[in-house]
A = this chain, B = another copy of it.
Amino acid sequence: MTNYITLLKENDLKATIQRTSILKSIDHAGHINIDEIYEDVKELYPTLSLATIYKNIILMQTNNVIVEVPMNGEKSKYELKKDEHMHLICQECGTIQDTKMTKRTQEALFIENFKLNHSQINLYGVCNSCQTK
């Protein structure tokens, strides 16, 4: 809990119970959409409103605490901001697994005449445990 408070303050946001709850929900899930956050957070704070979640998701994005992960055919998910990584999205079970980008991958993304700032890589396929089923 205290780490979410620090995370918020480091990024110029007041540490409200609503915000730490939202962060906790995102952190635990890894990748989660707004409705799921709402369901999650209502357990502990039944009065926490959807409007508050919307407002804070926007705010935390602009303050670099969380990152949007736009998804094909469904609502965007959100994750805590971390080092660049790729998403392995299992088309069978739906889980999203983070994978570090290797130096090799980074190099492979070099494009002439394009000043790369940030890359977003989603790989769709079948995860290990679904393969062995």
Which residues of A are in contact with B by a Cβ distance under 8 Å?
61, 68, 70-73, 76, 86, 88, 91, 99, 102, 104-105, 107-109, 111, 113-128, 131
Contacts and interface: CB of A to CB of B under 8 A. Distances in A.
Contacts of A102: 108
Contact of A114 (B105, B111, B115, B126): B126
Nearest to A129: B113
Copies in the complex: 2
A115 B131 contact: yes
Contacts of A99: 111
B124 A117 contact: yes
B114 A120 contact: no
Contacts of A116: 123-125
B117 A125 contact: yes
